[in-house]
Each structure stands twice: as C-alpha cells, then as structure tokens.
Amino acid sequence: MGFSVSGSAAILFVGAFIAFGMFHSATTNSFERVSEAEDDRAEDALAQQNTDLAIVTASHNATTDVLWVNTTNTGAESLSVGDTDLLVDNDYRTGWAANATVDGDNATDLWLPGETLAVAFDESTAPDRVKVVTETGVSATAEVIQRG
C-alpha cells in the first residue's frame, strides 16, 4: 500500500503544479495587459487635459480668394501638425499640412506651446465656419470673418 499512496500523491502534485503554472501565467499576463492599457489611457487623459488651443483669426479675403486660419497652441502639450485636422463648413480638408507654417517655419511638424499654426486655403466662396481638431480630440471652432 505504501507505494500506491505516495505514487498517486506524486502524480497529483505534479498535475496541480502544472495547472498552477498555467493559471498563474494567464492571470499575470492579463493583469499586466490591462494595467498597461490603463496607464496609457491615464497618460492620454493627461495630455488631453494639457491641450488647449484658440483660433486667433479665421478670415476670408474676397479679393484674393484666400481663407486664412491662424491657431495658437495655448496649452502645455506639444502637438503635431500632421495629426491635426481641419474642417471648413464641416468639410474635412486634406493636404493642407504641406503648406502650413508654424511661426513662419513650414518644414516643422511640431506645434509647440505658444506657437501659431497658419494655414491658407484657396476658397472662391467665403465659408461660414472653421474647426480645428488636435490629436487629443480637443478642438476649437470659429466663425469666418469677411475681409477685403
């Protein structure tokens, strides 16, 4: 009888050991994945809180047919020109980033706090509204002023 008790106990022990190993790795993996996601989300929320922008001028010149949109980064977060979106009368615009300037510099993609992003569009009819959306989802809208 001695052998059968200790032998089966050993088999059960090995089985329980393997089972615990699988369970442990699965739970720690899941926990790590979820807490990492929560960390990233908290970081994104912080970036969102630090983001603020203001449209300084949104004006359309009827003689030159140009719409100027100047937006200042009034927050504490550095933004990217490529990840910024612009809507004119709810029409999503693409391809403007190549001609956009940040404080006169058109090669940079960085839009740092305090700097002003200037964008020009060729617009034969004057639009009513513009909206600028940053990469964190914070946005600003303005009515277009007629000039010229």
Among 112, 133, 145, 148, binds other proteins (CB under 8 A): 133
CB of 107 to other proteins, least distance (A): 20
Q: Which of residues 69-98 bind other proteins (CB under 8 A)?
A: 80, 83, 85, 87, 89-92, 94
Among 22, 98, 122, 146, binds other proteins (CB under 8 A): 22
CB of 46 to other proteins, least distance (A): 13
Q: Is residue 145 within 8 Å of 59, Cβ to Cβ?
A: yes
b/e burial code for range 56-88 (CB count within 10 A of at least 16 → b): bebbbeeeeeebbbbbbbebebebebeebbbbb
11 lies in the binding site for other proteins (CB under 8 A): yes
The number of beta carbons lying within 10 Å of the beta carbon of residue 9 is 10
Strand partners, 92: 87
Binding mask 32-51 for other proteins (x = CB under 8 A): -xx-xxx-xx--x---x---
